[in-house]
Structure 1
Amino acid sequence: MPLFWRVCLINGAVFLAGTLALALSPATVSRQPLLSEFVVLLFGLTVIVLVNGALLRSLLRPLDRLTAVTTKIDLRYPGLRLDEAASGPARALVRGFNAMLERLEVERSTSTARALQAQEAERQRIAQELHDEVGQSLTAVLLGLRYVKDMAPERVRAELDGLRDTTRTSLEEVRRISQRLRPGDLTDLGLTSALAGLARDTSARNGPQVRRHLPSVVPELPSESELVIYRVAQEALTNVVRHARATAVDLGLAVSGGALELRVADDGVGIREGAMGAGIQGMLERAQMVGGDLVVRATGRAGPGGGPGGTEVLLRLPLSAPQPASVSS
C-alpha cells in the first residue's frame, strides 16, 4: 500500500476511535463548558495526538534512517545497508533502497574494472610504440651521429659528442618510461623480482632510499592480482618521490593472517586525514577490483625536521579472495 494511504488510514482510525470514545462514554459538555469538562476534552485530545504520533513514528522512522544513510553513502566504500527486519511498514521501501545500492555498487565495480582494463591496454600500446618507434629512431640517430663524427672536422666533434650523450640519455629515458608503462619483469621474473626492480629504479632516480623486505617465494596469485599489487606499489613510491620529501621508504611484502600484505611506509611529511587524490583513488579502485582492502594513513613517525610525519600504504589481499575481474597486463 502506498505510504500516503497508510498515513490516511492511521489518522482516520485514530480519529474514529476518539469519536467513538466520546460518543459512547458518559461524558457530556454543557452549553457553557465547565473547567472539568475542558480538562476531559484536553485529556482526550492529548491521548489522540500521542497515539497518532506513536503510530506514525513506527511508520516514518525508517525514512529518517534512510535520510541519514544517504548522507553517508560513498560507493568507494561499498557494503552500507539498512536493516530490513527493523523497518516495519517501510520494509518494502528499505528493501528497494538496498537493492538500488547493490546495483549501483555492482555497476561501479564493473565499469571500474573495464576502465582499468582499458587503461592497461593503452599503457601497453604506448609502451610498444615507444619501444618500436621512438626507441628505434633514437638508435638510428645515435648510429648516424657516430658515422658523422668520423667524417666531421675536429672543431665540431666535441659538439657531436654532446649530441650523442643527449640522445643516449633520451633513449634510456624512453626505455625507462616504456618499462614503467608495461612491467615486463612482472611477467618474465615474477612479482618479487618486479618489486625489487621497482625499488632499485626509485632509488636510482635521485629518490629516497628504498629498503626492501621481500620474501623469496610468494603464494601463487592470479596475474590480475599480481598486476594490482605492482601498480599499487608503483603509485605509492611515485607519490613518495613527488610529495613526501622522504629520506627512506620501507617496501614490504608478507603473508599475514591468511592474506598477502603489501606495505609502503615513508618518513616524509605525512598525509592529511581524509585526503583522496587521483592516485589514492586509483589504488583503492584497483584493490577493490581484486577483493582487497587498501588503507592510507599517517604513521606519526619522525618526518623532515624532526616533526611528526610519515605515510603508510597498506594493501591487504585475502589469499582466498574471489576471482577478480579481468585486467590484462
Structure 2
Amino acid sequence: MLHVHIVDPHADKRAAIKKMVQEMGHIVVGEACNREGALQLMEQGWPTLLLTDLMPPWREGLNLVSHVHEQRIPVVTIMLSDSMRFEDVRQAMQAGAIDYLLKPVKGEELRRALRRAEERVVYYHGAHREFVQAQQFFDRLELLQPGEFIQKHAELIRNIQSFEECQAGERLGLLRLLYAKWHYVLKQRGLEYNEPFTWQGEGEAIAYFQRLGEFWITLSSSTADSSVKLNVRRACDYIQENYQSDHTLVEISGRFGMSVSYFSVQIKKYTGYSFINYLNRVRIEKAKELLIQPHLKIYEVAGEVGFDTLQYFNRVFKQHVHMTPGEYRRSLGI
C-alpha cells in the first residue's frame, strides 16, 4: 500500500486522481496545488509516492521531482502532464520519475504505474522505517523531559548515521528531511533557529543537530509553555462557546494545532480535568442555568446542552452536582 501526495493546480483534477488512487487500495495522505505547498506537506510528513502534474508554464512539477532526486529523498515520483513532449519526458526520467502519464489519466495506465511504484518502494523500506521513528519522536516531542529528549534525539541521529541500507549521500538525504521536519516544528511554535544547516558532511550535520537539540531544551520550555497556555485557553473558550456540539478529543486537539496525546496532558494540567470531564462540566453548568426555567422539561435541557440521551445526562449531572436534575430543581423550590 502506497502513501500518496497528489500535486495538481486544479482541485477537480486532484479529486479525480485521488478517487482513482483510493479505489486501487492506496492512501492519499496529502494534496497540494503547487511546488511550495508540496514541499510544506513533506515537511509535515513523508509519503512513499509523489504523484505530480508537470505544472506548466514554469514546470514546477519537474522542479519538484528534480528536488526529490537531487536531495536523495527516498520518495518514488510519477509525473502527469497534458502533453507528451519528448523533452519533458526525458527531463522527468533524468530527474528520477519512474513514469510519465498523459492526462486525463487512464485507470489501467495508473494501475500499472502504481504497481511499479510499489516495487520501487521496496528499495526505500529501510529509509521509511527511519521516517516512522522520526515521526514518533516528533509526536511526543513536547511530552519529553530534557533528559529523555536528549536520549531520544541522540538515538534518532545515531540510527540515521549508522543506517547501512543506503549510500552516505542517502544518509545525508535523511538528515535533510530531519532538518525540514525540525524547521516545520519550530516554525509552528514561533521559534527560530538561525544557524544555517551545512551539508558538507555527516559529521557536521550530526554536530548541527546536537546544537539544535540544546537550543530546543534551552528556549522551548518557557516560550512553548506560554504558547501552550494560550492555545489551551483558546480551546477552553471554544468549548464554552460551542458546548452543544458533539466534540471529540481528536477534533479539538487538531483545531488548535496539538496532537491528541499532548492536548490531553495540557488540558488536564491547565484545567485540572480531562477533556471529557471539562466538556461535561461546561455542559452541566449551562444545564443548571436552564433548569431554573420551570417550563423546560429535563429531557429538553439535556438536548439543549448537547447530551444525546436523558439517561447519560442524569448520570453525568449527578456525578458533578451530587444530585439528580429533579432533586436540583426541588432544592431550589422549583
Pair in the same fold by TM > 0.5? no
What band does the TM-score fall into relative to the shorter chain?
under 0.3
More strand by share: 1
Greater Cα radius of gyration, structure 1 or 2: 1
Q: Which has the higher contact order (CA 8 A, sep 6+)?
A: 1
